[in-house]
Structure 1
């Protein structure tokens, strides 16, 4: 006679493995969590997609506009820096040239004095020499530094380039006009560095006032 099994179970009884039970549960679908369909996650209405595209296009347009503005601002800044640097170079010698203008004035006075001298031959030789030096200096200042004399006589009076030291009535004019130039005016690269001192002819109506 056979003895009873040590575990107290009959041969016909089977021991169920817990791991196997779990596997069987998975197969049969017991104790499983519902999984959201991938299609339901990514599927969206055409209206929402269209609105999203419009939003992105608007953002892109704004960013593009900002980029264009910033690029334009930087280009303007770069041009301004170049212009200011060039102006600093062009007008660095303003004070020096203003002093040299006074030397030109002395030359002009010497020339005038020589021409009016009674000793015609000596005066002429002196004046010719001074004139030559004056022309050389004037040419140097104009060609190398950009400083030039601007004529004023018979020009309409302009307070931006003329300094009136006196006025006189004139019935033949309708606008203030330079009658005489007592001190020459000079420009450096188009900018006035010394106003011309002038006598101004005034219309009778203006002079009467």
Structure 2
């Protein structure tokens, strides 16, 4: 029993020494405070980062405002496309009937309307028979057997004109592709 008592006291002494050593280490780390230069450098770094973040925020919001102003009238432009299509159909029908004065009058109104929309950023997506099919600008509504070998996988007919507002496609050109 005395042996157990001695071992127990020895373990307590070791634990006490370890605790004392840990306390000394923590007091040393507590007493090691950063210098004024280190604090100043840290605060300066935080300031520079915050300033850069704010400048990026200003640039981003300015860009967003400009994009909003540029594309704010997208819905109105999309609504006007049906009127533009109606003008094109009317010109084709009047040309068939042969009344030259009516045709000139409608064409003048059509050109004025189209020019006004163009001034606001509307552009026609140019599509011709034989062009490569491009999903970024074209929408294939159907495929038919190609009339010739060179038209396989290419545009055979344009059903509806496509339009862009500045750089964005607001209506894809509806096309027929050859298979």
The TM-score normalised by the length of structure 2 is: 0.69
Distance 1:82 1:57 in 2: 37
Equivalent position to 2:150, from 166, 172, 189: 172
1:146 and 2:121 aligned = yes
Equivalent position to 1:67, from 32, 38, 47: 47
Structure 1: which 5+ residue stretches go unaligned?
A: 1-51, 203-209
Number of the residue aligned with 2:109: 133
Distance 2:170 2:154 in 1: 21
Q: Aligned ranges for residues 70-81 of structure 1 at < 5 Å?
A: 70-81=50-61
Kindly provide the CA deviation profile for residues 165-209 of structure 1, in whole angstroms up to 9, marking residues without a partner as x. Answer: 1123442257x332221111111121111111111234xxxxxxx
Equivalent position to 2:90, from 102, 106, 110: 110
Distance 2:84 2:155 in 1: 22
1:186 and 2:166 aligned = no
Distance 1:115 1:131 in 2: 10
Distance 2:155 2:38 in 1: 64
Q: Aligned ranges for residues 153-164 of structure 1 at < 5 Å?
A: 153=128, 154-164=130-140
More helix by share: 2
- What count of residue pairs does the alignment treat as equivalent? 144
Q: Structure 1 residues 166, 56: closer, same or farther in 2, change over 3 A?
A: same
Number of the residue aligned with 2:19: none
Report 1 or 2 for greater relative contact order, CA contacts < 8 Å, sequence distance ≥ 6: 2
Q: Structure 1 residues 61, 173: closer, same or farther in 2, change over 3 A?
A: farther
The TM-score normalised by the length of structure 1 is: 0.60
Distance 2:50 2:122 in 1: 39
Secondary structure of the residue that 1:172 maps to in structure 2? helix
The root-mean-square deviation of aligned C-alpha atoms, in Å, is 2.4
Q: Structure 1 residues 75, 178: closer, same or farther in 2, change over 3 A?
A: farther
Distance 1:98 1:83 in 2: 24
